[in-house]
Amino acid sequence: MNKVLKLLSEGERLNERQMAEILGMSVEEIEAQLKALKDAGILLGWIPVFNPDKDDSLAVRAAIEVKITPERDGGFNRLAQRISRFDEVESCYLMSGGYDLHVVVKGSSLHKVASFVSERLSTIEGVLSTATHFMLRAYKEQGYLIEQPAEDKARLDVTP
């Protein structure tokens, strides 16, 4: 694996100078490798990871199970790509098992997400059914543990 890619996948966000120091390379070499990774479509972008417990302004997120009808000569691809283009969609995966697509969406409220599913997603020709699961609490986000406050008591009180 490319040294820069390996470093990016294993650690925190580093700037080009920091990567150069760690890998014993010049800043220009790092910049060239990053450009090559982007040009090849391997490195798509860098995103911050937010703690949803600390920021009330974060959007409501939901995981949606979608069953679709595969198309002749295209399978699931055309429909999955169409669904992926919606701004509300954070990610879309073809799945094995009881449903075809796993779609993660975000919206400013429960109502906005529900409206997206009922008015836009489920009305697409070829979408057979959806099951929406709202994300209530995060314990780990993109590889980062979200620390929860320690409980005061190891066990719950029991009343007779």
Beta strand segments in 9-147, E: 60-68, 89-94, 101-107, 127-134, 140-141, 144-145
Residue pLDDT, tens place only, 129-149: 999 999 998 888 877 788 765
CATH class of 60-137: alpha beta
- Please say whether the beta carbons of 107 and 88 come within 8 A: yes
Interval 80-88 mean pLDDT: 96
Report whether pLDDT(46) > 80: no
Quickly count: other Cβ atoms within 10 Å of residue 52's Cβ: 15
- Please say whether the beta carbons of 88 and 105 come within 8 A: yes
Residue pLDDT, tens place only, 94-133: 999 999 999 999 998 999 999 999 999 999 999 999 999 9
Per cent of the chain over pLDDT 90 is 46
Burial 12-28 (b: 16+ CB within 10 A, else e): eebebeebbeebebeee
> pTM for the full model?
0.69
Per cent of the chain over pLDDT 70 is 76
Domain residue ranges of the chain, discontinuous segments joined by +: 3-39, 60-137
